[in-house]
Amino acid sequence: MQTSTSVTVAEYFDLLQKSDIKLEYHAGEVVAMAGAQPAHNRICVTLSAALENCLRAGECVVLNSDQLIKIENCQKYVFPDLVIVCKNPVYEKAPNGLDALENPEIIVEVLSDSTESYDRLEKFDCYKTLPSFREYVLVSSKKKKVEVIKKLSEAEWLSHTYSEKDTTIQIGECVIDLSEIYHKVVFA
């Protein structure tokens, strides 16, 4: 018989503060985040740099995978690969740990075999409960493919898939060369 111990949010933040690895909180369950493959890591760096260069002069900021996001309606705290926030960032102040962003606008996930289903389904459904969330970007780490899903209304999202035949992609107001995202990426 398998037993599971539920933890409180306060206990989660105590664990997170003491941990050497990233821990997510999923409605009472603490989930350790595994390391990523080189292609995934490289894409995070190149896309972050491209977005930062594009957004440098405006009011938006790019935050990396160390930024904790609070998803209150799903009772989750998660670490997406990249996040963009354009209005005043709103943080839940942690009594002893990381402050969690509450108003992400654009969230980027670089897909891997172990996370793709979760990122596309459960995680996306949770992100949709955030009023500020308006765009979801799913980046393949297996081939040149980026899916950008934009919010049209509370119940309607429009998906556009970019692939090798496309030279540029659009994320928010940024037009980025697809080759720039995959620069020096070696597919496994």
Residues of the chain with pLDDT under 50: 1-3
- Please identify which residue in the block is written with the tokens 């037009």: 175
Query: Domains plus CATH for the chain?
Result: 36-181 (3.90.1570.10)
User: Checking DSSP bridges between strand 106-111 and strand 135-140, what pairing results, if any?
Assistant: parallel
pLDDT in tens, 29-70: 999 887 788 999 999 999 999 999 999 999 999 999 999 999
| Per-residue burial over 5-41, b = 16 or more CB atoms within 10 Å of its CB, e = otherwise | eeeeeeebbeebeeeeebbbbbeeebeeeeebbebbb
Structure token pair of residue 4: 């599971």
What is the pLDDT at residue 20? 86
Backbone angles phi, psi at 53, to 5 degrees: -60, -40
